[in-house]
């Protein structure tokens, strides 16, 4: 049967067909849908883990216990999971272990565009790279087999264009491979120095040479001989882009098994062509390997290390064909950045804090609330990575004091981010007596990645009831004093304003927890569908205060302020900030 | 030779749904199909694009400058933003919907005037529609995207594919009737 699947859906299908039994992940674009799709198969135990390190460790444990296990994450997630990665590489596997990393050349929804292929030689872990949805499904099966045959975890590297592109996939049946016997083996699974030393030597002298041999003979690496004037070595989505430009007029070495790279195959291919190009996004990963072999090739001399590659770039760089748009319009295009939604529960606290903008520094984090940094709210000084909303704040606060800046640091994290890597930061803040304020925006969902459950939502990945972890109880248990904790409803401006005021005056670690579910949660949308605000034009003085909360439902056209009632969910933040009581609330909540 | 269709608009307008329906129909018709979408942060009111290519054999899922046979814009400012992707002589389908981005709402930037006039003056083949009016007449403003689907099907001459079954497959039952009407209005506009 043929089906149109995204790369992510195909990876999930591949895991199912390959007899995978355990799958874990933390959501992150462009990887999120892999686990969402796997969770629909009852044959596979799946979970949203608290972070990527946890996810990889869950999968590693399952592998050692004898099951085929898969873990998926976005590229930066592998940084979090790097600790277990480098050591499980020594230990190897029992049931196959596949680690999917979804990289983001072009950074459509990420904070950097690191090239995770470099993790493979660094951690000495085999790597597989599919180009399209069919390969995503087929290569997952190969990856599990490679993992078990060579006793190694396998990195499965995809990119946004592979994850989020749909292509035709021929489906197969699930093959039950069962659970392998677990035999206690401390030399293999207890990595103390004496054992690790042996394992490292084993990797270098046995596993890696065997993998290199496999690479040279793998069906995943193949030469397509055509005209030999130009030869192209490429992998992943770049293979598709190159095929679109050159079709069957040039020769290709398509790399699908990319660590260790196939040295003999590369040599054979290079000798067979007049001019050799390497087409790869971001780092010169293959190019450096090829050049180190003493083979001449053209790569990053013409292709940028920044952003995605596409057929047009290849045409321009190799064929010298530059395309210009046939249309020149005489219109200046306004930008359209993402924004906090109408009714977003994050807006109220950001607005309350923005009233003190000269007295505060805001260390923000990864999530929808990153958008609080956008104008007109402008509430953000730093964004680094998951958890840094708290921890960067600790360091910033210490230096503020040294420099007598008299500025209060407010660190923002969401509920899911708090569980991911915020808790350790808060422990640090309390232990090291930071004077910062931590704001935990609890909107009962992992929102930015498209609404995944998390330990605070009371449901698991399958939507089944699960224990609900109490954020406030954790904050108290860490040692934040009761008098320094405010739990507020961020739709109520009085509560926002008073919490911010108390926080500004605090001399000890202070925590504000805002509780209001994301406006886009289906149940919330249903409940609030009939609620809206409207501007009473007789009372409106056009003072524009309501425009400063940055709500996409409020506009001022032709000197008339109005609210788009279709977008509005009646959160009433605008109503409360209006100095002239010109905004009125209508409708009733549906229970 | 593969045909390429670029759909652009604002997060929340239902562009990805239309792309899914289109891709599914094209696959059933026997084409090789690739569809690529960029979302993530775009969901939050940002600019969204999906790219559909179909033909005997499609390799790359991306559409680049001057390559789209058809550019469909669900909002008129987005048509201006992505016009460079349209092929010379290609067709522009544009919904006259006007959605102000946040920097405009906040008074930091201006929503340009005269977009439709400029598009009609500089692009040879423009099909414009006010999908909101039609959707509101049908009593379901959110069916604007399916009105657009009808228009796309007509512009591509793909009326022979069974689109109604695809609409039914991807939408909940309670909105089937109104969306089938929306599709027909787009098709016959």
Helix (H) or strand (E) holding B9: strand B3-10
The predicted model gives A140-163 an average pLDDT of: 98
pLDDT tens by residue, A347-359: 999 999 999 999 9
> Taking CB atoms and an 8 Å cutoff, what residues of chain B touch A165?
34-37, 61
Instruction: Look at residue B108 and tell me whether its pLDDT is greater than 90.
Output: no
Cite the beta strand spans of B47-164 per DSSP E.
47-55, 68-73, 86-95, 125-129
CB atoms within 10 A of CB A459: 17
Nearest to A116 by CA among A105, A131, A130, A132: A105
The residue of A327, A383, A560 whose CB has the most chain B CBs within 10 angstroms, and thus the best one to mutate to test that interface, is: A327
Largest Cα separation within chain A, whole Å, is: 83
The residue of B1, B19, B35, B60 whose CB has the most chain A CBs within 10 angstroms, and thus the best one to mutate to test that interface, is: B60
Does A240 share its domain with A284? Answer: yes
User: Does the bond joining A440 to the residue before it have cis omega, within 30 degrees of 0?
Assistant: no
* pLDDT level of residue A56 (50, 70, 90 thresholds): very high
The residue of A76, A307, A326 whose CB has the most chain B CBs within 10 angstroms, and thus the best one to mutate to test that interface, is: A326
Mean of per-residue pLDDT scores for chain B? 93
Q: Is B81 in contact with A336 (Cβ distance < 8 A)? A: yes
Sign of torsion, CA A144 A150 A152 A155? negative
Instruction: Look at residue B106 and tell me whether its pLDDT is greater than 90.
Output: no
Instruction: Look at residue A318 and tell me whether its pLDDT is greater than 90.
Output: yes
Q: Tell me, yes or no, whether A313 lies in a domain.
A: yes
Quote the pLDDT of residue B46. Answer: 83
Measured in angstroms, the CA of A377 and the nearest CA of chain B are apart by: 10
pLDDT tens by residue, B26-37: 999 999 999 998
Of A168, A311, A547, the CB nearest to B60: A311
* pLDDT level of residue A9 (50, 70, 90 thresholds): very high
CA A161 to the chain's CA centroid: 14
Does A196 share its domain with A168? Answer: yes
Helix (H) or strand (E) holding A411: strand A408-414
The predicted model gives B120-133 an average pLDDT of: 96
The CA distance from A124 to A118, in Å, is 10
Quote the pLDDT of residue A231. Answer: 98
Structural domains in chain A (count): 4
pLDDT tens by residue, A502-561: 999 999 999 999 999 999 999 999 999 999 999 999 999 999 999 999 999 999 988 999
The CA distance from A124 to A121, in Å, is 5
The CA distance from A254 to A246, in Å, is 14
> Taking CB atoms and an 8 Å cutoff, what residues of chain A touch B112?
331-334
Q: Is A166 in contact with B10 (Cβ distance < 8 A)? A: no
Does A205 share its domain with A290? Answer: no
Of A338, A551, A554, the CB nearest to B41: A338
| ipTM beyond cut 0.90 | yes
Does A43 share its domain with A155? Answer: yes
Does A39 share its domain with A91? Answer: yes
Quote the pLDDT of residue A47. Answer: 98
Nearest to A27 by CA among A561, A471, A452, A468: A452
Sign of torsion, CA B168 B173 B177 B183? negative
Share of chain A above pLDDT 90, in %: 97
Share of chain A above pLDDT 70, in %: 100
The predicted model gives A292-315 an average pLDDT of: 98
Helix (H) or strand (E) holding B163: helix B163-170
The CA distance from A157 to A159, in Å, is 7
Residues in chain A: 591
Over the Cα atoms of chain A, what is R_g? 27
Quote the pLDDT of residue B137. Answer: 96
Does A461 share its domain with A435? Answer: yes
∠A292-A293-A295 over CA atoms, to 5°? 100
The predicted model gives A369-396 an average pLDDT of: 96
Quote the pLDDT of residue B107. Answer: 84
Q: Tell me, yes or no, whether A327 lies in a domain.
A: no
The residue of B5, B56, B61 whose CB has the most chain A CBs within 10 angstroms, and thus the best one to mutate to test that interface, is: B61
Residues in chain B: 189
* pLDDT level of residue A338 (50, 70, 90 thresholds): confident
Pairing of strands A485-488, A510-515: parallel
Of B44, B78, B105, the CB nearest to A368: B44
Does A362 share its domain with A441? Answer: yes
CATH code at position A244: 3.40.50.920
Q: Tell me, yes or no, whether A167 lies in a domain.
A: yes
Measured in angstroms, the CA of B89 and the nearest CA of chain A are apart by: 9
Does A54 share its domain with A137? Answer: yes
DSSP A467: P
* Whether A245 contacts A277, CB under 8 Å: no
Largest Cα separation within chain B, whole Å, is: 49
Q: Is B67 in contact with A312 (Cβ distance < 8 A)? A: yes
- Closest-CA residue of B relative to A559 is B107
pLDDT tens by residue, A395-449: 999 999 999 999 999 999 999 999 999 999 999 999 999 999 999 999 999 998 9
Instruction: Look at residue B42 and tell me whether its pLDDT is greater than 60.
Output: no
Of B77, B102, B115, the CB nearest to A339: B102
pLDDT tens by residue, A256-280: 999 999 999 999 999 999 999 999 9
A289: which 2 tokens? 């390997």
The string of DSSP letters for A34-84 reads HHHHHTT-TTSEEEE-SSHHHHHHHHHHHHHTT--EEEEEEHHHHHHTHHH
| Residue the block writes with tokens 């007596």 | A433
pTM: 0.96
CATH code at position A478: 3.40.50.970
Last-in-domain residue among A200, A217, A234: A217
CATH code at position A565: 3.30.70.20
Quote the pLDDT of residue A214. Answer: 98
CA distances for A318 relative to A232, A299, A301, A315, B50, angstroms? 11, 10, 11, 6, 27
Share of chain B above pLDDT 70, in %: 97
The predicted model gives B146-168 an average pLDDT of: 96
Quote the pLDDT of residue B12. Answer: 85
A482: which 2 tokens? 């009761």
> Taking CB atoms and an 8 Å cutoff, what residues of chain A touch B100?
552, 555
Measured in angstroms, the CA of A323 and the nearest CA of chain B are apart by: 7
Mean of per-residue pLDDT scores for chain A? 97
The string of DSSP letters for A166-188 reads EEEEE---------PPP---HHH
pLDDT tens by residue, A34-53: 999 999 999 999 999 999 99
User: CATH fold of B3-187, please?
Assistant: Pyruvate-ferredoxin Oxidoreductase; domain 3 (3.40.920)
Q: Tell me, yes or no, whether A173 lies in a domain.
A: yes
Measured in angstroms, the CA of B177 and the nearest CA of chain A are apart by: 20
> Taking CB atoms and an 8 Å cutoff, what residues of chain B touch A326?
66, 86-88
Does A512 share its domain with A410? Answer: yes
Helix (H) or strand (E) holding A257: strand A257-259
Last-in-domain residue among A488, A519, A550: A519
Does A411 share its domain with A461? Answer: yes
The predicted model gives A198-219 an average pLDDT of: 98
Instruction: Look at residue B39 and tell me whether its pLDDT is greater than 70.
Output: no
Measured in angstroms, the CA of A479 and the nearest CA of chain B are apart by: 35
Does A51 share its domain with A123? Answer: yes
* Whether A30 contacts B40, CB under 8 Å: yes
Phi, psi values for residue A466, rounded to 5°: -140, 160
Of A109, A161, A331, the CB nearest to B62: A161
> Taking CB atoms and an 8 Å cutoff, what residues of chain A touch B141?
566
Does A563 share its domain with A436? Answer: no
Measured in angstroms, the CA of A521 and the nearest CA of chain B are apart by: 13
Q: Is B27 in contact with A2 (Cβ distance < 8 A)? A: yes
- Please, which residues have CB within 8 angstroms of residue A92's CB and are 6 or more apart in sequence? A151, A152, A153, A188, A199, A207
∠B14-B108-A538 over CA atoms, to 5°? 85
- Closest-CA residue of B relative to A332 is B112
CA distances for A368 relative to A162, A341, A373, B38, B130, angstroms? 25, 9, 10, 17, 32
The CA distance from A17 to A175, in Å, is 6
Quote the pLDDT of residue B41. Answer: 60
Measured in angstroms, the CA of A3 and the nearest CA of chain B are apart by: 8
The CA distance from A363 to A409, in Å, is 7
Of A308, A326, A336, the CB nearest to B10: A336
Cite the beta strand spans of A108-256 per DSSP E.
126-128, 154-159, 165-170, 222-224, 230-235, 251-255
For chain B, the structural domain boundaries read 3-187
Quote the pLDDT of residue B11. Answer: 86
The CA distance from A166 to A161, in Å, is 9
Classify the phi-psi angles of A244: left when phi > 0, otherwise alpha if psi is within -120 to 50, otherwise beta: alpha
Phi, psi values for residue A360, rounded to 5°: -130, 155
* Whether A377 contacts A350, CB under 8 Å: yes
- Closest-CA residue of A relative to B25 is A4
Last-in-domain residue among A469, A498, A519: A519
Q: Give the number of beta-carbon pairs within 8 Å between A and B.
A: 178
Q: Is A334 in contact with B101 (Cβ distance < 8 A)? A: yes
DSSP B66: T
Q: Is A325 in contact with B83 (Cβ distance < 8 A)? A: yes
Pairing of strands A360-364, A408-414: parallel
Q: Which domain holds residue A552?
A: 529-586
- Closest-CA residue of B relative to A376 is B106
Instruction: Look at residue B40 and tell me whether its pLDDT is greater than 60.
Output: no
* pLDDT level of residue A90 (50, 70, 90 thresholds): very high
């Amino acid at each position: 049967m043929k089906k149109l699947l995204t790369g992510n859906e195909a990876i999930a299908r591949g895991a199912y067909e390959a007899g995978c039994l355990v799958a874990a992940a933390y959501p992150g674009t462009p990887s999120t849908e892999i686990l969402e799709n796997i969770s629909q198969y009852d044959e596979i135990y799946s979970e949203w883990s608290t972070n990527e390190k946890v996810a990889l460790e869950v999968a590693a444990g399952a592998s050692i216990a004898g099951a085929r296990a898969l873990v998926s994450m976005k590229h930066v997630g592998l940084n979090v999971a790097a600790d277990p990665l480098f050591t499980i590489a020594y230990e190897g596997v029992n049931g196959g272990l596949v680690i999917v990393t979804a990289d983001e050349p072009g950074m459509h929804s990420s904070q950097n565009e690191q090239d995770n292929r470099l993790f493979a030689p660094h951690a000495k872990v085999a790597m597989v790279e599919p180009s399209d949805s069919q390969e995503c499904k087929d290569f997952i099966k190969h990856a599990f087999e490679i993992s078990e045959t060579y006793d190694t975890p396998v990195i499965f590297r995809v990119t946004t264009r592979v994850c989020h592109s749909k292509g035709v996939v021929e489906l197969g049946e699930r093959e039950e491979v069962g659970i392998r016997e677990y035999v206690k083996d401390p030399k293999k699974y207890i990595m103390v120095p004496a054992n690790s030393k042996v394992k490292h030597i084993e990797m270098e002298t046995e596993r890696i040479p065997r993998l290199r041999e496999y690479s040279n003979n793998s069906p995943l690496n193949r030469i397509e001989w055509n005209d030999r004037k130009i030869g192209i070595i490429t992998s992943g989505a770049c293979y598709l882009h190159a095929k679109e430009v050159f079709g069957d007029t040039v020769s290709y070495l398509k790399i699908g098994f990319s660590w260790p790279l196939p040295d003999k195959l590369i040599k054979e291919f290079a000798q067979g062509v007049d001019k050799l190009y390497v087409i790869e996004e971001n780092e010169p990963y293959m190019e450096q390997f090829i050049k180190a072999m003493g083979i001449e090739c053209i790569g990053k001399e013409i292709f940028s290390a920044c952003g995605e590659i596409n057929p047009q770039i290849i045409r321009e760089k190799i064929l010298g064909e530059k395309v210009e748009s046939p249309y020149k319009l005489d219109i200046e295009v306004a930008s359209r950045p993402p924004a906090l939604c109408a009714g977003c529960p994050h807006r109220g606290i950001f607005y309350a804090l923005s009233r003190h903008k000269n007295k505060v520094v805001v260390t923000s984090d990864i999530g929808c609330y990153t958008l609080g940094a956008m104008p007109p709210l402008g509430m953000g000084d730093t964004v680094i990575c998951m958890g840094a909303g708290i921890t960067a704040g600790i360091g910033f606060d210490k230096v503020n004091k040294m420099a007598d800046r008299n500025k209060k640091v407010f660190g923002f994290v969401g509920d899911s981010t708090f569980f991911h890597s915020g808790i350790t930061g808060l422990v640090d803040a309390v232990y090291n007596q930071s004077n910062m304020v931590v704001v935990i925006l609890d909107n009962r969902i992992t929102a930015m990645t498209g609404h995944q459950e998390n330990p605070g939502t009371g449901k698991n990945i399958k939507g089944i009831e699960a224990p609900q972890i109490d954020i406030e109880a954790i904050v108290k248990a860490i040692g934040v004093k009761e008098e320094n904790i405010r739990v507020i409803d961020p739709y109520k401006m009085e509560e926002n304003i008073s919490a911010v005021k108390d926080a500004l005056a605090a001399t000890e670690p202070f925590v504000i927890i805002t509780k209001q579910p994301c406006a886009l949660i289906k149940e919330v949308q249903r409940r609030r569908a009939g609620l809206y605000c409207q501007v009473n034009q007789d009372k409106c003085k056009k003072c524009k205060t309501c425009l400063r909360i940055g709500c996409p439902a409020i506009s001022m056209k032709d000197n008339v302020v109005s609210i788009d009632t279709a977008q509005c969910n009646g959160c009433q933040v605008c109503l409360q900030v209006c100095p002239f009581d010109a905004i009125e609330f209508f409708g009733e909540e549906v229970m | 030779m593969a045909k390429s269709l670029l759909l652009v608009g604002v997060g929340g307008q239902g562009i990805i749904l239309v792309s899914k329906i289109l891709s599914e129909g094209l696959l059933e018709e026997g084409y090789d199909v690739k569809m690529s979408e960029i979302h993530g942060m775009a969901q939050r009111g940002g600019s969204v694009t999906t790219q559909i290519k179909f033909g005997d054999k499609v390799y790359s899922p991306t559409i680049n400058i001057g390559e789209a046979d058809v550019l469909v814009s669900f909002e008129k400012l987005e048509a201006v933003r992505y016009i460079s992707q349209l092929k010379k002589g290609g067709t522009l389908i544009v919904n006259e919907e006007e959605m102000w981005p946040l920097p405009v709402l906040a008074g930091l930037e201006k929503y340009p005037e005269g977009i439709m006039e400029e598009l009609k003056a500089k692009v040879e083949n423009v099909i414009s529609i006010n999908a909101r009016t039609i959707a509101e007449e049908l009593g379901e403003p959110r069916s604007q995207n399916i009105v657009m689907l009808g228009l796309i099907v007509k512009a591509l001459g793909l009326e022979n594919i069974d689109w109604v079954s695809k609409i039914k497959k991807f939408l909940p039952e309670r909105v089937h009737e109104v969306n089938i009407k929306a599709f027909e209005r787009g098709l016959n506009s």
